[in-house]
Structure 1
Amino acid sequence: MNKEWIEITVLTSSEAVEPVSGLFYSCGLQGVSIMDVEEIKEIKANKTATSYDYFEDSLLDMEDSAIIKGYFEDDENFPKHLEYITKGVEGLKNYGFDIGRGKVLSEKVNQEDWENTWKKYYKPTKISDRIVVKPQWEEYTPKNDELVLEMDPGMAFGTGTHETTRLCLRGLEKYVDEDSTVFDIGTGSGILSIAASKLGAKKAIGVDLDEIAVESAKKNVSLNKIDNVEILYGNLMEVVKGKADIVVANIMADIVMILGEQVRAFMKDEGVFISSGILVVRADEVKNKLEKCGFDIVDIIIDGEWCSIIAK
């Protein structure tokens, strides 16, 4: 059944893309739609098999150099999200960001309309050393040792293009082996669970508290024709049994710190905790919390304004 959603659009500058995206992620979204004119120009100038040729040249003449969109359920929490994002965008000026017009708009959209619009801009994209994310309606021939993930993100987003997802994938590429059991917390579109399977994991279990995300993730698992990924609705602590070699959580700093107090009970000895969705300015705070919870920090990987903290 199609649902009514509310689309929040921020008209801003390329400079403000990361912090504005962070505002959306802080509201619990799995991802945002970003149209960054400067990035489009750069990719068009360096054509690759996954270039942005599908963007119309007229987009390069937009008044705003970046347009960021996020989709929220039309419920009692929406006014709080809108106020948070509106105040947050304005507040970026205090940190020296050029926010352009910094205009925040909102309108109701139908799920089917949104999905059809999204398909226009969602193309095969290489997002880590080996992983290419490909929408199911596009063709792509893998090169060398590339692993292709078939995706239809639906409203759950999680297409893999955001820094936080790329950071998680880099961690999975490093630590997953044929004996790995992987728990994916806040699975969204299921991209990290599917990637773990493609990288050779023995088993991956993705969990999410959003029913729409669970539905989307199950569909994506089916698209990839893999049988060692299980998607569950609910809280990790309540629906998953056993222990994992790797726990990956692409959520946000506050939730990562809460997980630090609980997740060890679900990890094997020498298990690896790959956390992301953490703004660089909060890295020390998260690192200190994980160390207090008994973790040893193995690595901190930075991509733009975001970082991933890998701990054992």
Structure 2
Amino acid sequence: MQKEWMEVSITTSSEAVEAVSGILYNTGIKGVSIEDPKDIEIEKKRPQDWDYFDEDVLKVKDGAVVKGYYKDDENFEKYLKYIEDKVNNLGNYGIDKGKGTVTVNKVKEEDWENNWKQYYKPYRAGSRVVIKPIWEKYNPKRDDIVVQLDPGMAFGTGTHETTRMCIKSLEKYIRPDTRVFDIGTGSGILAITAAKLGAKYVTAVDVDRTAVESALKNIKYNAVENIDVFQGNLMEAVCGKADVIVANIIADAIISLTEDAEKFLVPGGIFISSGIINDRSQDVVEKLKGSGFKIEEINVDGEWVCIAAKKDDMK
């Protein structure tokens, strides 16, 4: 029996694509796709030697349609009202919302899958890391690290700003002898990236059984053997201490996690936290400092923040 999903379509400007996607990620979203009306025209103009997808190419003047997919449950109307209010208010932040229309349709699961897959292409997430959907071809460049992903419909494709910033931080902090804990692993994208960057051992945890199953599947696609995946939270699922902990979740969860993260890091270890909306970044910074961390760097992409903090060497 096919499942039905609620498809929310926002017609907006290309300038507002990231902001609109961010609005959707603040709700109970189960998947996001971005459609551009000039995809075909751009494909015709694309140089033959391009072998990876650059999302900036899709920012054309005529705008785009951002689609979000939701379960048809008691929370949907609340999410829809939130989306409509936030899209209408984009102009207050100096962002051109374009038409700014929000429409809703019911779609079958199979139709959704066919829809979003055609817009998900290989893309460069860091200086070396390229994320490639398993159904696409990609010719790697020298020194490329290719992560193959089938995110399924319950997880993002890895193109979100928070994921990109985490990947860039992992590129910076992973060393050959590094042990990594990935908290809230989802599709496993960050755990797999850490392993392919040379981490010695990776533990990935998530409270959601579907996430654990998705991560295990993607680990097999990438043929990495130094990752263990567990269902549960940090305290329940891991033992020992890590050199790097990465958590791409939300600000409130990071604040709750911070004291435990400090206990599970070696002295001088790095805590990479993302999924933080700009308005909450100072709350996270204060919690980190109060828990014995030194802020190493704060990176911002659109409305989102990624913080890398170092545990006190003396603890």
Instruction: Decide: shared fold, TM above 0.5.
Output: yes
Partner of 2:313: none
Give 1:2 shift: 5.4
SS of residue in 1 equivalent to 2:153: helix
1:229 aligns with 2:205: no
**Residues 184, 120 of structure 1: alpha-carbon distance in 2 compared, 3 angstrom cutoff:** same
CA contact (8 A) 1:14 1:37 kept: no
TM-aligned CA deviation for residue 299 of structure 1: 0.7
Alignment of 1:164-203 (within 5 A): 164-203=162-201
1:86-235 matches, cutoff 5 A: 86-235=84-233
- Asked whether the equivalents of residues 84 and 102 of structure 2 are also in contact (C-alpha less than 8 Å), the reply is yes
Larger CA deviation: 4-13 vs 169-178? 4-13
Q: Give the drift of 1:234.
A: 2.6
Q: Distance in 1 between matches of 2:74 and 2:219?
A: 32
* Counterpart position of 1:22: 22
Contact 2:176 2:199 in 1 (8 A): yes
Alpha-carbon spacing, 1:195–1:219, altered in 2? closer, same or farther (3 Å): same
Counterpart contact for 2:293–2:309, Cα < 8 Å: yes
Indicate the residue corresponding to 1:81 in structure 2.
Answer: 79
Distance 2:71 2:271 in 1: 30
Secondary structure of 1:155's counterpart equals coil
- Aligned equivalents of 1:13 and 1:151: distance in 2? 28
Give the letter aligned to residue 68 of structure 2.
G
The 1:194/1:51 distance shift into structure 2, 3 A limit, reads closer
Aligned residues: CA RMSD? 3.0
2:259 to 257, 261, 275: 261
Separation in 1, partners of 2:250, 2:44: 32
When residues 23 and 231 of structure 1 are mapped into structure 2, their CA distance, relative to the original with a 3 A threshold, is same
> How many Å separate the matches in 1 of 2:257 and 2:274?
12
- Deviation, structure 1 residue 46: 7.0
Q: Partner of 2:293: helix, strand, or coil? A: coil
Corresponding residue number in structure 1 for 2:5: 5
Give the direction of change, closer, same or farther, for the CA distance of 1:111–1:39 in structure 2 (3 Å limit): closer
Contact 1:44 1:52 in 2 (8 A): no
Give a deviation string over 1:64-94, Cα, whole Å, max 9, x none: x121122223333323222222222223333
CA distance, structure 1, for counterparts of residue 287 and residue 45 of structure 2: 43
**Amino acid corresponding to residue 23 of structure 1 in structure 2:** I
Post-superposition CA distance 1:195-248 (Å, at most 9, x none): 011011112122223333322222111111111112222322322232221111
Q: 1:31 to 1:263 in 2, by over 3 A?
A: farther
The alpha carbon displacement at 1:270 in A equals: 1.5
| SS of equivalent to 1:118 | helix
Query: Which whole-Å CA distance do the structure 2 matches of 1:76 and 1:210 have between them?
Result: 20
Name the TM-score, length of structure 1 as normaliser. 0.87
Give the residue type in structure 2 aligned to 1:83.
K
- Partner Cα distance (1:271, 1:5) in 2: 42
Query: In 1, Cα distance between the equivalents of 2:187 and 2:269?
Result: 24
1:274–1:311: 8 Å Cα contact kept in structure 2?
A: yes
Determine the structure 2 residue equivalent to 1:50.
Answer: 52
TM-superposed deviation, 1:38: 8.9
State, as a whole percentage, how many aligned pairs show the same letter: 53
**SS where residue 93 of structure 1 aligns?**
helix
Structure 1 residue aligned with 2:296: 298
Normalised TM-score (structure 2): 0.86
Change (3 A) 1:16 1:38: farther
SS at match of 2:157: coil
Per-residue deviation at 1:18?
2.6
Distance 1:39 1:300 in 2: 34
Count of residues in Structure 1 that have an aligned counterpart in Structure 2: 307
Partners of 1:227 and 1:168 lie apart in 2 by: 22
